[in-house]
Structure 1
Amino acid sequence: MENAVKSQIDISSRLSVAPMMDWTDRHCRYLHRLMSQDVLLYTEMVTAPAILHGDRDRLLGFDAAEQPVALQLGGSDPAELAQAARIAAAYGYREINLNCGCPSDRVQSGRFGAVLMEDPALVAACCAAMIDAVDIPVTVKCRIGVDDQAPDVILPTFLDAVSAAGVDRFAIHARKAWLQGLSPKENRDIPPLDYDLVFAMKAAFPHLHLSVNGGIGSLDEAEAFRDRGMDGVMIGRAAYHTPADILLDADRRIFGKSQGRTVEEVVALMLPYINAHLNAGGRLHQITRHMLGLFQGRPGARAWRRHLSTHAHRDGAGTEVVETALLQVTSLAA
């Protein structure tokens, strides 16, 4: 791995948008990149078997404008993951991230996701195989433990074993995952957050690049975590539902760059992208569903959401739907 590439991706991971199933697809990432040039973006989780046996261009294709973008892989077979990582690296991803945090039933039955917290040695073997296969960083996103595990015991054991395999960057969702008794949605809210444990891991493993994830809803909170010594902050639902609040000022506040675009400028820049998608046979709502929260908290936000929700699904819907929705916002703001 070239040091310059690794250094740049480590910088980008000061603030990242979490991988989120059904949300962080290529259209969402294109939108987010228009709002921040520096934030690290992640794909939805893609399983290694899907890459090996499925439509690779559909699963792995992305617009070069999304960079820096990382692929999150799901799996637990070192050989499969190594092969999938090699294929993905050829598409130009800047990082491969192994999912050790997703608590869904499908993930458990496939022996990957959060259940891997129970087997640090297997995670280490998986990561070692991927590191041998690619020249880009291999990272891990994990929980602080699962079910009846003691987080203050398993998390340092996990970090020690996996870092020994060559992983030096982790994103830690500061909640347990309860694989029995809670739904995936409940696992995002009900288990209590333990930020203090994540801070303790940073103190215990100062050589590792650690990002904190879970329940973080603003740039103010992100800056507070970095002020307390965390290398990075990963934001999930807030970055999706209120992207302007998180992303438009991120380059200035987190990366020391100049002020970014306005929301109106972002919408205008989305129009050519939307047209290209429609000309390729796509439908408007596949993109606009990610744009509903753009004006959250501003006058006209409800009119924006209502117009897009009502009209974007209709046959033949085009960019005029977005332009009309924007006019409703700007007229109220005038």
Structure 2
Amino acid sequence: MKTLFIHKPLFRLLSPLFSGTLVYLLILLINNTIDELGDNFFGQELYVCIGLAYLIQEYVRVSIVIFKRLKRPSSFFVKTILQIISTIFINIALVSVAMYLYFTNVLYYTPNSNELLVFNSIFSVIALIYILLYVSHQFLYMVNTEKLEKEEWARLEVEEDFTDFKRGINPELLFESLEAILVVMKGNPDKAEQITDSFAMVYRYLLSKKKDELVPISEELKILKELLQLFSELPHRKIQLGKIAVDESMVVPGSLLRIAEKVMRTTIPSEVKKMAIDILESENELAIQYKHEERIGKSLKTNSLNYIQRDYRYYAPEPVKVVHGDVFKTIYLPKLYLE
């Protein structure tokens, strides 16, 4: 869409043939009657008009390219007016010089003002039509681009809403929890009830806090303990909370839960060996730290937490970071406070 058809080689080759013939036909109609067209149609002047049409159309095409690359003036309207005025003036100069050379060197007399006026008027109209084609193409391109941008924003918004919905539901954890409940229910109904309570508390928190921007970290830690209790019934590495040394800051709802789940799914499963997650703080950051024993091809990296990065970007300039040490892997979250 962005490439205008006047730049196509086939159009550049054929268009002047038709426009030059049309110019010659109009000049004949001005100077002769319709009955005399047949006698005077084919002549040297026809080829001169076609050649002049090639010159004018190529000049206008080059001027369109030049004005398109100009950065100033920035206003599209001002640039268009400037382009029309400059193109028409240069077009008049080119036509006048070409006609003067043709009349003096071929026809051996000087053209009068009426003859120059006819040629300049017709070829100026052709140049103006070319510019209007370009302007209309640009307007159409801007309108279509705006529509495409709106459609793209709508598509991204739908995808974002679906991703948020999927994250809130978390189908993988949902099905694993239901399977664990079904397995335990037959042998130990009381334990199955405890798993169901933890499962319900986690999902109630995720769904009820979906519209909240921030929650106290103490509330998040309470649900995190229930989530880790739920993890203990799943066929993954058993995880428990280790050191907790944080003040009453705020976090994005579900961020600690999602990090804990990501840690669980990237760590080598073990039925006997447990992992401790420490939650510490510095002056400006929360640090979620654990001894990493990661699965092959499932390492926890910064781009694994893109959705958390996006959420925290609204509240803090500092990015979410993942630092991989020899023993510990640490996820840093910016500390948030309500002012």
TM-score band w.r.t. shorter chain: under 0.3
Structure with bigger RCO (C-alpha 8 Å, 6+ apart):
1
Bigger share in helix = 2
The normalised TM-score by structure 1 is 0.21
